Structure formats: C-alpha cells, structure tokens
Amino acid sequence: MSQSPADEPYVLRSDAGGVATLAMNRGSRFNPLSAAMIAALDGHLRDIADDAAVRAVVLTGSGRGFSAGHDLAEMRAHTGDDAWQQGLFDACTAMMLRLTQLPQPVVAKVHGIATAAGCQLVSMCDLAVCTDDARFGLPGVNIGIFCSTPAVGVARSIGRKRAMELLLTGEMVDAATALDWGLVNRVVPAADLDAAVARFTDVVVARSAPVLANGKRTFYAQIDAGIGEAYEVAGCAMVTDLAGADSAEGIDAFLEKRSPVWPSSV
C-alpha cells in the first residue's frame, strides 16, 4: 500500500465478497493510534456493525508496518493535560472493546511491527495472521511508560508470565514466538499473507451470520467469567442458536449429507 499525505483519510475501507477491509492509512509513521486514527477506526467499526452485507472484517496497516501504537508526539504535546490524556485512553478502550462487540469476526492482517497499542490492537481481534518477519512488543518501559492498557488485551491472549516478560523487558518477539505464545493464529511468508487471511474470511463468509454473531458475543461474555457463570451464559446461547432457522437448516443439511443454504443469507 502506498503511504499517504496528512490530508488523506486516516482509515481506508474497501469491501468485496462480504469482507470489509480497514487499512490504517498513516504508513509513513507506522500508523500511530492518534486521537484522529482511533476516532476513524471507531467510526468505521460502528458503521460495519450495522451493515448486514459485511460478514467478516480485516484490519491492516499501510506502509512498512501494522502499527507502532499511540502517537507519542501527540501525547507529549498534551503533557500535563490529564483530561485530554484520559479522553484519549477512554476513546481507545471503547474502540478496542468494539472489536469484540462487533457481530462480525475480525482478522488482524499484520506485517512489520505491532508494538504497544498496536500489539494491543492485534490481541483484541478475533484472529490474527502475520508475515514471518513481523515483530511484536510492549516497549513502553523503554521510554518511561508502562504499557498498562495494551497489557489488558495482550495478557488475555498470551498469559501472565509472557505478558510480564514483554512489559518488564520492553523487548520485541518475532513472529514464531508470537505464534507459539498464542498472539497470532498463522505465520506465513509475505507473499502468502493475503491468501492466508482469505482462508479465514472465506470460511467465515460461508457460515451462518447469526450463529457466528451469537457465538462471538457469548465467547467474550463467558471467557473471563467464573466457570459456573460461563456455562450459564454459554447454555443460553446454545438454546438461542437451536431456536433459529439457520440451526435447523444446518442440522438437516448435515443429516442429509448436503451443503447448507442458510435462511439468513437468502
């Protein structure tokens, strides 16, 4: 993707075959999550949530890398303005949570670096695919800022000890380590990145949209709950699925050894 002048949109959206691709469009600066970038991403996510034609979302970055995290120059310019800083993190939190609240599955398509809040962004997507030369990290400690908000999503993906390693050392990890730790689902050569992402989105688009939306909502509702509450939430979701026309069609198709034709897609 080409790098963009300051007057171009912060995020570019393209749609094809039921898949909406959102590309952060400040590649010359490694797509920093400035206040404007966060607002642009959140706006697109809001629009997509209500767009029945979109069945899956791909989130990527232009230029040399995915995202280097928050815009440090912008944050430095507001030093001492606690209200502005709190507003920035509140807006970022809302955008990150919207990724999990979106009814459509979201796939992070990562190349280059994904650091600090950029690494958080990867962790908050439902799936992630990266190139074999991608690198990840929470390097805030290197410049006197502990990556506390990025750690929320990252720790839930890779676990406490590995998250603390990133947080305390500020060191980067390579793509193979990110895969081993569970931060990404697939690592592929750069030439195969589009195909690897399409492998996921093709499968998602072929599935029942209501079932995936309900399943995604349920997953995030139960994953951090106690096991009893988790099973209660999950059980209600299963009942909801089974009451739907798509479930009836899916079961019938399985029993009849044919491909389903989802009523919700007709």
CB 129, CB 150: distance < 8 Å: no
Length reported for the chain: 266
165/167 Cα distance (integer angstroms): 5
Residue owning tokens 């689902």:
185
pLDDT tens-digit readout, 79-97 = 888 888 899 999 999 999 9
User: What are the chain's domains?
Assistant: 11-205 (3.90.226.10), 209-265 (1.10.12.10)
CB 204, CB 216: distance < 8 Å: no
Model pTM? Answer: 0.90
pLDDT of residue 69: 96
95/43 Cα distance (integer angstroms): 9
pLDDT tens-digit readout, 157-213 = 999 999 999 999 999 999 999 999 999 999 999 999 999 999 999 999 999 999 999
Q: How far is CA 201 from the centre of its chain?
A: 13
pLDDT of residue 266: 46
pLDDT of residue 1: 42
Secondary structure (3-state) at 174? strand
Segments of the chain with pLDDT less than 70: 1-6, 265-266
Beta-carbon count within 10 A of 246 CB: 21
